[in-house]
Amino acid sequence: MPDENLILRDLSGLLLERLKPRLRVQNLVPGQVLFAAGDTISNIYFPRSGAVSLVCELAGGQMIETAMVGHEGVIGGCAALDDRGALHRAIVQIGGSGFALDAETARQAARESDDFRRTIIRHEQLVLAQAQQSAACNASHSLNERLARWLLHTRDVLGADSLLLTQEFMAEMLGVRRTSVSIVAHGLQQAGLISYRRGHVKIENAGALQSSACECYAAVRMRYSTPKTSALEASPL
């Protein structure tokens, strides 16, 4: 159902009814690239489950996550409305499903509806704030703090304590070596904050994990804590 995505849920009933015939169910497969940096946006995506990472690609092939979007958001919205190339790569981190809407229909909706245009722009501003916070975090905080923050944010986006994640993927998103993530994750497991087995992380003590995270986690969570973007509030610690 469209109301499983909070952006679609918050649209006016009349506008949503107009968009429904153009919304296509989209499976989100782990590792799937929705678009790459520089691509012309042909579809925008409204996840209803799973998580999509927005990543920056470096010349050497390294990728680092700048933001994460789940059922609270939309992917590719502003780039599609402006009919310009994507600024980053969007890759499915954790599988799920959602809705795809062709870019021309999105542009038409934005021309005809101030509500739709404001909603897309508001979410883009939140994603930008998340990216700015990630940049500051990567430059200033320890890997232990950053991994704790990243796991908590992933939990909030998914609304679940059990996360299908490999150490290799976590290392790639954080821009560090896998062995470094392995050492830090082992420490968190020894402290009883998480449990880990191959390809699966479970958060055992979210409150203690938040104490291990840097202030960036609370800063991002606070920005999303508004009446129209309260998805990240829905996961109590």
125 and 9, same structural domain?
yes
Is 204 exposed, middle or buried (CB count within 10 Å of its CB: 0-12, 13-18, 19+)? middle
Tokens of 198: 């191959």
Sheet holding 51-57, edge to edge: 33-35, 89-94, 51-57, 63-69
Q: β-pairing, 51-57 with 89-94?
A: antiparallel
Distance between CA atoms of 49 and 159, rounded to whole angstroms?
A: 9
Q: What is the pLDDT of residues 72-85, one digit of tens each?
A: 999 998 888 887 78
CA angle 175, 231, 54 (to 5 degrees): 25
- The torsion angles phi and psi of 119, rounded to 5 degrees, stand at -65, -45
pLDDT for residue 237:
43
Instruction: Please give the tally of structural domains in the chain.
Output: 2
192 and 86, same structural domain?
no
pLDDT for residue 50:
94
Q: Quick one: DSSP state of residue 128?
A: H
pLDDT for residue 1:
72
User: Residue 227: pLDDT band by 50, 70, 90 thresholds?
Assistant: very low
114 and 11, same structural domain?
yes
Out of 105, 121, 137, a domain closes at 137
Whether the predicted model's global pTM rises above the 0.85 cut: yes
Out of 107, 137, 167, a domain closes at 137
What mean pLDDT is predicted for residues 88-105?
94
123 and 200, same structural domain?
no
Q: Above 50 in pLDDT, residue 234?
A: no
Mean pLDDT score across all residues of the chain: 89
What mean pLDDT is predicted for residues 101-120?
92
85 and 151, same structural domain?
no
184 and 105, same structural domain?
no
Q: What is the pLDDT of residues 15-73, one digit of tens each?
A: 899 999 999 999 999 999 999 999 999 999 999 999 999 998 887 778 889 999 999 99
pLDDT for residue 80:
83
User: Residue 212: pLDDT band by 50, 70, 90 thresholds?
Assistant: very high
Say if residues 115 and 15 touch (Cβ distance below 8 Å).
yes
119 and 34, same structural domain?
yes
100 and 169, same structural domain?
no
Q: What is the pLDDT of residues 5-22, one digit of tens each?
A: 999 998 888 889 999 999
111 and 147, same structural domain?
no
61 and 120, same structural domain?
yes
196 and 126, same structural domain?
no
Q: Above 50 in pLDDT, residue 231?
A: no
38 — alpha (psi -120 to 50), left (phi > 0) or beta? Answer: left
Out of 70, 104, 137, a domain closes at 137
Kindly report the CATH number assigned to the domain that includes residue 195.
1.10.10.10
Kindly report the CATH number assigned to the domain that includes residue 98.
2.60.120.10
Element (H, E) at 96: strand 96-102
Q: Above 50 in pLDDT, residue 220?
A: yes
Distance between CA atoms of 40 and 3, rounded to whole angstroms?
A: 27
pLDDT for residue 48:
95
126 — alpha (psi -120 to 50), left (phi > 0) or beta? Answer: alpha
Element (H, E) at 235: none
168 and 111, same structural domain?
no
What mean pLDDT is predicted for residues 207-227?
86
Question: Which residues sit opposite 67 in a β-bridge?
Answer: 54
Q: Please give the residue range of the domain that contains residue 160.
A: 141-233
